[in-house]
Structure 1
Amino acid sequence: MSKIVCVLYDDPVDGYPPAYARDDIPTVRQYPDGQTTPTPKSIDFDPGELLGCVSGELGLRGFLESQGHTLVVTSDKDGPDSVLDRELDDADVVISQPFWPAYMTRERIERARNLSLIITAGIGSDHTDLDAAIDNGITVAEVTYSNSISVSEHVLMMILALVRNYLPAHQWVLDKGWNIADSVKRSYDLEGMHVGTVGAGRIGTAVLRRLKPFGVHLHYTDKHRLPAEVERELGLTFHPTPHEMVPQCDVVTINAPLHKETEHLFDDELIGTMKRGTYLVNTARGKICDRDAVVRALESGQLAGYAGDVWYPQPAPADHPWRTMPNHGMTPHTSGTTLSAQARYAAGTREILECWLEGRPIREEYLIVQGGTLAGAGAHAYTAGTQ
């Protein structure tokens, strides 16, 4: 029998919800590229439930314990005395979400003598040392595409919130005011602006598609150029590198994976090449931006606004400067963990576990590392030896 350790974020402060704002969620059976949504044999939850917190357990307990497996669920993941570290030595599987990541370092991987599988419940496996997983023959999998559309919607929301100065205007309402001049003194139309994405994979392309109706000029950079017909359809301008693209843009959105090639990509030098008053949105990974360079750019006015929901580390400490910098629209890492997305990535996590426990192949598109090498989605997104 196997031991599965699942690291999830804490329950709501007022307790696990007895009811929800909506009675159901739309059923999505296929992603835009034709890939089907997760297809486990069954699920033990109602779609639309809160599954990503400790009490939600990703809907896995009944399934695993009915087969004699042990499931440990915790939010305590940091430090040598954490529940994660105490349970890790004999764990066969570790599951976590990007929003509350279990940082699977080389040291943790190498002392977890039984570890065979690391699952990201969601997308983005940079919190796992992929080189260490390769060296130790561990399979790494994630639920590819499960929350890509969720994140792309969040990106669009943040772009509009920054450009239209939504958050300060809303604050005047909360403060019982009617200060129209204060509300609009930093408010512009998105129409006609040049908007670029660093990364044009599933999320980046979905962002571009959602931006097209706004009458903007669309730019992108990616190490994999999009097909010519997609460029024509969306009216895209391709740039070989971020350094060539960002000076042309009024808004830049980051939708690329984190690895050595992108870590601290947006530093003082690159931000300094951007137009004064550019808006920067980052729902990819916090470490793609130099933390203090962003603060300096907002304080100087080089950036007109910064928004995102990714930080480093996660959870962000109370004194993280992004909490108090001017003209920001930060959220906790929520873009990919809507209740809609949770239903998909919980089902996908169960699908991966069913395959692993039964000795069946895991979907190719879910694989990041397998058999001592990058595989599936991982071979497309990452480069071995660059972590």
Structure 2
Amino acid sequence: MTSSIDIFAGKLLIVDDEPVNVKLLERTLAKAGYSDIASTMDPREVCDLVDTHDFDLILLDLNMPHMDGFAVLEALKARFETPPPVLVLTAQSAQEFRTQALEVGAQDYVTKPFERNELLHRVKNLLSTKLYRQGLERLNESLEEKVTERTQQLNETRLQVVRRLGRAAEYRDNETGLHIVRMSKISHLLGEAMGMDPYQCDLLLNASPMHDIGKIGIPDHILLKPGKFEPEEWEIMQQHAQMGADILEGEDSDLLTMARDIALTHHEKWDGTGYPNGLKGEEIPLVGRICAIADVFDALTSERPYKKAWSVEDALTLIRENRGTHFEPSLVDAFMSNLDAILAIRDNHQEPG
């Protein structure tokens, strides 16, 4: 890092009310190899010059009209969160002046008349520190950008895995995968209607496809049975909710935490007669209540090998009839208020025929 820093490219500002002192400093610095040197004999201009030129080092006199060097240091500290380093260059050799200058923000202090090599070494040291710190900041910014990019890639990979997990369960149930597309988009829409924030709605869109992941653990002779389940078969079928939660357990990401809640609770009912835990009302997470109505509507209006698709009108009738029993009343109201958008989702993602 150090070898790559060109201190001679540093921007210098000389602040001194004596033209002779300014000329001497300019010649000394230029002869040493510095090329970006500015100066002012009016200390009142310093803050504006720093604001527009982003200097790397200020060489500051103390005894000046209008504002002395101490006032300039105070003004820099008040105006800038990180002002450029200041090398005080003054005829004042008393210790109290040196101490005061350092207390109000100067990084170094050289008395006039100065010894050329000492001054250049102090300038070099201050510039090296400043430019090295800038280099570290740029490196950190670059690393942060790379970490952000990598995190985005990992999140996208996670989403791809999540979607494929959801589709794996649907394929076991003779689905094309479009059920989870429709169901997740309807869930997202209802999440917005129920006042969920954009981040939570985005999680819901991506977590809801895993609502039936537990079906992976249900035997084919039960899962694919075309007729009515026997009581013991229905008991096994109901286990898919807990199985799904168990599959998704142990991951602390927001996405999979929500997916677990959905898998576990999307068959609970508002009146407490659902499964697997007989939760009632707001004991059921909002995302579970939302996915319940989205899942039922799409399942009813979709054709399966073991049933015909219901008409939209019949499905809506069932949802209305189950307002306050199976479904949260306010969710049914939100569903009906957004019916046009829900039907558009259904139309835009039809099964291939």
Interval containing the TM-score (normalised by the shorter chain): under 0.3
TM (norm. structure 2) is 0.26
Choose between structure 1 and 2: higher helix proportion: 2
Q: Name the larger-Rg structure.
A: 2
Choose between structure 1 and 2: higher strand proportion: 1
